[in-house]
Every structure is written in C-alpha cells, then in structure tokens.
Structure 1
Amino acid sequence: MADDPADADVSTVREHGIKLLARREHAPRELERKLRDRGYAADTVSEALADLIRDDLLSESRYAESFARQRAERGQGRVRIQAELTQRGIGDGHIEQALAELDVDWAASARAQRRKRFGPDLPDTLRERARQTRFLQQRGFDSDDIRAALRSE
C-alpha cells in the first residue's frame, strides 16, 4: 500500500517536517513525536530529523530562544521557562544561553505581574503576602525576584 506512512521514505518525512517548521519553531523531541504520531517509521523519522538539523532547519538553540522570549513577554519567570524547556528536551546549555540573551529585568517583571494581578498596594497581612508569593512562584519567579516584587518601590 503506497499511502502507508510507515513505508514513507526519508524525503517525504523531511518534507512533512519542513511544513511543520514553516508554521513555527519546534523542539527536536516535539517534531519527532508529531512525525511518529503521523505513523512514520522511527528510523525514517530519526534520519529525517538528522537531515533537518544538519541543514540548520531544526535547531534546539533557536527553539529555546524563541520559546524563552515568548514566555518572558507573557510575564513568566526564569524558573518556569527553564523547567518548561527542560521538559521539552532542550539541553541545559541551550537553555542557559537563551535566558542569558534575554534582556529582562526579572524583578521588574515580577513587580509588574504582581501589580497586574493584585493592584498597586503591597500586601498588608501575612496571609495576603503568602498568597501573592504563591502566585509569583507559580509564574516561575525565584525568591529574590519575589522579595523585590513585594518590597515598596
């Protein structure tokens, strides 16, 4: 059966990968999963991914930069961005490089997220302070950034 994805050659899988990459950057692991979910054979997918990486069409560092920038712009903290990139199979070196290249004042970002959610007034009770701290932790800010966000400016 000629239309069976399991019988597809490397160039067919590669073309499918290029179509997915044309829409947005993908992590190698994510692209592999998408191609495998389409029914392509594992060895064919691996070979096609190797070709895409060799031709610089698929790049962990480019994906990490794009992802980190997008998440920082949405007000997420460094810790969360790092964890999500790790979950997506991006290497520590690429993650550190992507975070270092971001021009983000993390404390100011935490302050902005706190103000956006809770208003301009700082918490006046221990319970409210704990609530705002948890919110900022869930957004992925570290303890130094959270302390800065909860201090008067």
Structure 2
Amino acid sequence: MFAEAKNALLAMLARRDHSCKEVADKLAGKDFSAEVIASVIGQFLDSGYLDDERFASALVRSHINKGHGPIRIQQAMFQKGIAKSLIAQSIDDADCDWYELAKAKAARKYGEAEVLDPKEKAKRTRYLLSQGFSYDQVSYALSVNDSDFD
C-alpha cells in the first residue's frame, strides 16, 4: 500500500505542485489509510518534494499575474489548506503594489476613461471587489490622478 500511495503522490506532483492538505484529501479519496497517507506525506516533506511554503509563494505569484487582489488570494490559499500564518506571510512577502495592481486591472477591463455615471462606478467597484481588492484599493483604482491634468 505504501508504494502505491507513493506512486500516486508522485503522479500528482508530476503535473503540478500541491499543498499537504490537497495531497492528503486526494490520497484519502483513493482509499489509502490515514497511517499510509501520513507516512508518505512525511517522507515527501523530508525530501523536499512537498513544501507548503513553496506552494504558497507560487500560488501568490500565479494569482498576482492574473490580476487578483489579496483577499481573493487569501481565499484561494485557505481553500487549498494553507495555514493562516503562511497565507499572511506569503502575501506580505509578495513584492506587489496592490493599489497599482487594482488600477491596472481596472484599466485593462474598462480603459482609462473617467467614470461619471454612478451606476457604472458601482459596476466597476463590484468587479474589483470580486477580484479580491479592498475598498481602499478599489477607490484608488477608480480615482482620477491629479497628475493627469498637469
């Protein structure tokens, strides 16, 4: 059973990196015992094939490249079973200006034009909030720079 679980885990990791929780859930779904799962995961952690810290930083980079905000990234990481402390650390370690990312996301979706219509502004606000940005970041993204009028 141990060899089968090890081969199943190798096959999973060959496709993409996984968190420990994801691996445990997938192996449990294949009817491996808890003891076998724990020992396989322990062996892979010791060898460095499985690393939640590496997985978390890769996940943050992936979501930043998609233009997602920190709230959405936190939610995705939580669903993958990453520890809260590691989530906070990974997002803090990300070299990202969330305000500028929100502004770039809004510009990509809607262009650079100023929003005068309250309904349109509400629509854009809802979109950016759904992408994981805070109200402050959304407000910044939808504001008009004073330097644009110089």
TM over 0.5: yes
Q: Which residue of 1 aligns with 2:127?
A: 135
Q: Which residue of 2 aligns with 1:56?
A: 48
1:77-113 deviation digits (Å, cap 9, x = unpaired) = 0111011111221112211221122211111111111
- Say whether 1:14 aligns with 2:10: no
CA distance in 2, matches of 1:31, 1:90: 12
Unpaired stretches in structure 1, ≥5 consecutive residues: 1-7
**Structure 2 SS opposite 1:110:** helix
1:44-67 deviation digits (Å, cap 9, x = unpaired) = 112211221122211111111011
CA distance in 2, matches of 1:73, 1:100: 16
CA distance in 2, matches of 1:63, 1:139: 21
Q: Which residue of 2 aligns with 1:89?
A: 81
Q: Which residue of 1 aligns with 2:95?
A: 103
Q: Which residue of 1 aligns with 2:17?
A: 25
User: If the length of structure 1 is used for normalisation, what is the TM-score?
Assistant: 0.88
Q: Which residue of 1 aligns with 2:28?
A: 36
Greater Cα offset, 137-146 or 111-120: 111-120
1:113-153 deviation digits (Å, cap 9, x = unpaired) = 11111121121121111111100000000111111101112
Q: Which amino acid aligns with 1:55?
A: S
1:67 to 59, 63, 77: 59
CA distance in 2, matches of 1:51, 1:98: 24
RMSD across aligned positions (CA): 1.4
User: If the length of structure 2 is used for normalisation, what is the TM-score?
Assistant: 0.89
Identity of aligned residues (%): 27
Greater Cα offset, 114-123 or 137-146: 114-123
Q: Which amino acid aligns with 1:145?
A: Q
Unpaired stretches in structure 2, ≥5 consecutive residues: 146-150
